[in-house]
Chain A
Amino acid sequence: MDNLLEVIGVSKKFGDFTALNNVSINVPKGSIYGLLGPNGAGKTTLIRIINQITLPDTGKVILDGEPLKASHISDIGYLPEERGLYKSMKVGEQALYLAQLKGLSKAVAKERLKYWFERLEIGDWWNKKIQELSKGMAQKIQFVVTVLHEPKLLIFDEPFSGFDPINANLIKDEILRLRENGATVIFSTHRMESVEELCDDITLIHKSNKILDGRILDVKRAYKSNTFEVGITVPDNSTLKKELSNTFKTTPASFKTLNNELKLNIQLNENQSANDLLNFLTSKGEVSHFVELIPSVNDIFIQTVTRNNLQ
């Protein structure tokens, strides 16, 4: 698969502080790429390097097959975490100005703004000043300004902050639609459930280093522990428990069910298959619940970062 963006061995120091240490990432074309990491890990620095706001000390960035250059500015749309708008400027004027800075002509910018304002039902804000709008309203305008010039690469840093659930959903759908239309999205957030929901690939940056990356499914496969959550109804719970613990590693589980069954987490070793377990269980009683435990991105995040801190 083609990569839209390749960051190759990028390092950046601020004085004695290393913000990024030899970080490489590949962002496949048309993907939604999660850029994760604790606060102060170096995500923002990496994003700023991709946006040519900061220059890397070493390493290079390739966008669509070419080393990063000034004209690439119009190929990238960036919604920073620290964002705002001119408070005393009118919404329309401001959006036009920012679009023109991204290289759109005034006429084209106006036309597209009209389309977007209608789409997000904010048409009547055109002549309002930002200071008259609520935070969520201003965020909507900021989103429109970010995507208006139809960039190949969209970078969203905490895009959902400040939105109520309805509007957050609206923006999420817009992001998905933009991806369908061919855009590639880099997505940096601390909200793991949205990573889970949206991202195809992830990278985890911690203390200036990349410590994990890959397709989200591959990462999960690598982190799975072969554990199954089981619910079974048998006449005698304790006998089964004993029998199971002879062959498998078991721990009590808790999940919501309708019946009052025996609930266990059962971990298999490399030689045991899920079928073996299931066959064994069905021979003992009625299985009402049998699910493989998939590690959540949240678990992976915490696990990796904690392990890294210990090293």
Chain B
Amino acid sequence: MNHLPLIIKREYLSKVKNKSFIIMTILSPIIMIALISVVAYLSQLNNDKVRTISILDESGQVATIFTNTENTTYNILEGMSLQDAKSLVTETSGYGLLHIQDKSTVEDISNSIKFYSEESPSLTVISRLENKLEKHLTLMNYENVGVDIEKIESSKVYVDIFQENFTGETSSKTDSIIKLIFGGAAGYLLFMFIIIYGNMIMRSVIEEKTSRIIEVIISSVKPVQLMLGKIIGTSLAGLTQFAIWLILGSILLFVVSAIFGIDMAQMQTPQQAAIQQAMENPEVNNQLLGAIQGFFNLPLTNLIVAFVLFFISGYLLYSSLYAAIGAAVDNETDTQQFMLPIIMPLILAVYIGIFTVIEDPHGTVSTVFSFIPFTSPVVMLMRIPFGVPIWQQLLSLGLLIGTFMFTVWIAAKIYRVGILMYGKKPSYKELLKWVKY
């Protein structure tokens, strides 16, 4: 009799109906969005504050470049001593005082600029001031040595190397970044999924052992069926949770940004501000276009098919091991010694993915680890966006599926014996003996 659907249904429902599961599912995206909103709100609040920066320009050549903006007011002081200026700024509780000394050469001026403030100033403010001063002083220098600025501007050249492989596929630097993001996201997702739901499977096996229902159940169904039902049921519950997180998260994000009018995309962090500034330049626009093109240049069909296959096989490989561990021990505290050998290859895979694949997606290390079954799901998923020959993908998948069947067989043996063993924490030697029973 095939009870697999029945077991899957029970496992799924018992997970999904579980209170803490429901709370986690609903609360997680809300907390995430709330956090993002708070951060966004706070940084906006920060930006809305108008700073007053006083400028004491003794050279008389620089102050004109500072024009007031939305959140910075420049207060140009004239005919004052540095001492007076300082006390004035302190009295009016201004943000700070920029002091430019009068020197004969531009070099000397640039070397003697100082910023006085009550507290140490924000990095953004200083770098903005530096940018402005640099630009202006450079121009002054150009003029001093008699360089025609217009000629310089018009003779500027931007280089973006177009890459093309021998079969004629073109790509660019932006493409590589897009590929990295895709591969990294896929690999990391698998990693997270294995850790979260593998643990859940393990706990549910331990629960059956401690509640002593296991013997009742396996007098009705084969232990392998129970194990597979547990793995599949829990995974489906996991997918449900992921899907809800995704949908709920997007809806919430949309609603929150609509209500509070916070433009999430334009949060004014320093980097983003820089990007925004850069956006006005034509070459960055080119890059944005390139990114969109790069997305469509990805081997999308291959990516999706490979993602599904490697994700499922990799997940099953690890979750069967989690189930075996759950069967071998009596309570969660005893799981530690067996967890390490599972976590190690996973972490190794992620590190290789992050450090090696980025550096050289088709190098020896990346290639080798994308074949070793315990690291291949993560590493291969990270490599695939860079274009991996089909034969390599198939070989790796074949090895993975072979290993997966082997581990399920081993796990089922350990499971079969382990679920009826109580009291003692088994050693590796004992586990080996169980496999032979």
**Measuring CB to CB, which residues of chain A are less than 8 angstroms from any residue of chain B?**
14-15, 48, 51-53, 70-71, 73-74, 76, 78, 80, 82-89, 97-98, 100-103, 142, 145
CB-contact partner of A89 in B14, B216, B420, under 8 A: B14
Cβ–Cβ contact A73 & B212, under 8 A: no
Residues of B within 8 A of A98 (CB): 216-217, 220
Contact between chains at A83 and B220 (CB < 8 Å): no
| Contact residues in A for B217 (Cβ distance below 8 Å) | 98, 101
By the criterion CB–CB under 8 Å, are B219 and A51 in contact? Answer: yes
B422 at the binding interface (Cβ < 8 Å): yes
Give 6 pairs: A residue, B residue, CB < 8 Å, sorted on A. A51-B219, A53-B218, A78-B216, A78-B219, A83-B213, A101-B217
Are A53 and B219 CB-contacts (below 8 A) given A15-B433, A97-B10?
yes
Shortest distance from the beta carbon of A52 to any chain B beta carbon, whole Å:
8
Nearest first, the 6 A-B pairs at minimum CB distance are: A84-B212, A101-B220, A80-B215, A84-B211, A78-B219, A51-B219
- Once the chains are docked, how many angstroms separate the CA of A53 from the CA of B217? 10
Tell me the nearest residue of chain A to B212, going by C-beta: A84
Most chain-A Cβ atoms within 10 A of its Cβ — which of B3, B208, B221? B3
Measured CB to CB, the closest approach of chain B to A252, in angstroms, equals: 47
**The one of A71, A78, A87 that contacts B1, using a Cβ cutoff of 8 Å:** A71
**Smallest Cβ-Cβ distance to B208: which chain A residue:** A86
In the assembled complex, which residues on chain A have CB atoms less than 8 Å from the CB atom of B215? 53, 78, 80, 82-83
Number of B positions contacting A (CB below 8 A): 23
Residues of chain B lying within 8 A (CB to CB) of residue A76: 219
Q: Which residues from A are CB-within-8-Å of B69?
A: none
Check A80–B220 contact: CB distance below 8 A. no
Q: A48-B420, A86-B207, A101-B221 are in contact. List 16 more A-B contacts (CB 8 A).
A: A53-B215, A70-B1, A80-B212, A80-B216, A82-B422, A83-B212, A84-B213, A85-B211, A86-B211, A86-B213, A87-B207, A87-B211, A97-B6, A100-B6, A101-B3, A101-B7
Give the contacts of B379-437 with A (CB-CB under 8 A).
420, 422, 433, 437
Flag whether B81 is at the interface (Cβ < 8 A). Answer: no
B87 interfacial by beta-carbon distance below 8 Å: no
**Candidates A15, A71, A73; contact of B220 at CB < 8 Å:** A73
CB distance from A81 to the nearest CB of B (A): 9
Complex: how many Å from CA A82 to CA B209?
10
Q: Is the CB of B219 within 8 A of A73?
A: yes
Return the contact of B216 from the options A70, A73, A74, A145 (Cβ within 8 A): A145
Q: How far is the CA of A51 from the CA of B220 in the complex (A)?
A: 8
Chain A residues lying within 8 Å of B364, measured Cβ to Cβ, are none
Determine how close the nearest CB of chain B comes to the CB of A306; give it in whole angstroms: 28
State A161–B212 Cα separation when bound (angstroms): 15
CB distance from B217 to the nearest CB of A (A): 7
Q: With the chains together, A87 CA to B206 CA distance in Å?
A: 13
Closest A residue by C-beta to B3:
A101
Report A-chain residues with C-beta under 8 Å of the C-beta of B437: 14-15
Chain B residues 206-265 with CB under 8 Å of chain A are: 207-208, 211-213, 215-221
Residue of A88, A97, A98, A102 ringed by the most chain B CB atoms within 10 A: A97
| Cβ-based interface call for B18 (8 A) | yes
Which residues of A lie under 8 Å from residue B220 when comparing CB positions? 73, 98, 101-102
Docked-complex contact B213 and A85, CB < 8 angstroms: yes
CB distance from B84 to the nearest CB of A (A): 76
Q: How far is the CA of A48 from the CA of B1 in the complex (A)?
A: 19
Q: How far is the CA of A102 from the CA of B217 in the complex (A)?
A: 9
Nearest to B210 among chain A residues (CB) is A84
Per-position 1/0 for B12-28, Cβ under 8 A of A? 00100010000000000
B6 cross-chain contacts in A, Cβ below 8 A: 97, 100-101
Given known A53-B218, A98-B216, contact A86–B433 (CB-CB < 8 A): no
Report if A142-B216 is in contact (Cβ < 8 Å); known contacts: A70-B1, A89-B14, A100-B6. yes
| Residue of chain A at shortest CB distance from B433 | A15
In the assembled complex, how far is the CB of residue A14 from the closest CB belonging to chain B, in whole angstroms? 6
Complex formed: what's the CA distance from A88 to B10 in Å?
Answer: 12
A74 CA to B219 CA in the complex, in Å? 9
* A80 engages B219 (CB within 8 Å): yes
Task: For the complex, give the distance between the alpha carbons of A142 and B420 in Å.
Answer: 18
Q: Closest chain B residue to A81 by CB distance?
A: B215
Judge whether B14 and A53 touch: CB under 8 Å: no
The chain B residue with its CB closest to the CB of A90 is: B17
Quote the shortest CB–CB distance from B223 to chain A (angstroms).
8
Which residues of chain A come closer than 8 Å to B420, judged between CB atoms? Answer: 48, 53
Complex Cα gap A97–B7 (Å): 9
Q: Once bound together, how far apart are the Cα atoms of A84 and B6, in whole Å?
A: 20
A102 to B10, CA, bound (A): 15
**Pair B433/A103 contact, Cβ less than 8 Å:** no
Report A-chain residues with C-beta under 8 Å of the C-beta of B433. 15
Which residues of B sit under 8 angstroms from A14, Cβ to Cβ?
Answer: 437
Closest to B223 in A: A53
Quote the shortest CB–CB distance from A80 to chain B (angstroms). Answer: 4
A113 CB to nearest chain B CB (Å): 16
Residues of B within 8 A of A74 (CB): 1
A59 nearest CB across to chain B (Å): 17
Identify the closest chain B residue to A12 (Cβ).
B437
Q: Assuming A101-B220, A102-B220, is B14 touching A73 (CB within 8 A)?
A: no
A102 to chain B, nearest CB (A): 5
Is A83 a contact of B1 with CB atoms below 8 Å? no
- Looking across the interface, which residue of chain B has its beta carbon closest to that of A99? B220
Nearest A residue to B436, CB-CB: A15
Residue of B nearest to A73 (CB): B220
Residues of B within 8 A of A87 (CB): 207, 211
Contact indicator B3/A88 (Cβ below 8 Å): no
**Could you say which of A52, A88, A100, A103 contacts B14, with CB atoms under 8 Å apart?**
A88
Contacts of B218 in A (CB 8 A): 53
**Which one of B208, B213, B433 has the greatest number of beta carbons of chain A within 10 Å?**
B213
Taking CB atoms, residues of chain B closer than 8 Å to A52 are 219
Bound-complex Cα distance A101 to B225 (A): 11
Considering the chains assembled together, what is the distance between the CA atoms of A86 and B437 in angstroms? Answer: 28
Chain B residue, CB-CB nearest to A97: B10
Compute how far the CA of A125 lies from the CA of B216 in the bound complex, rounded to whole angstroms: 20
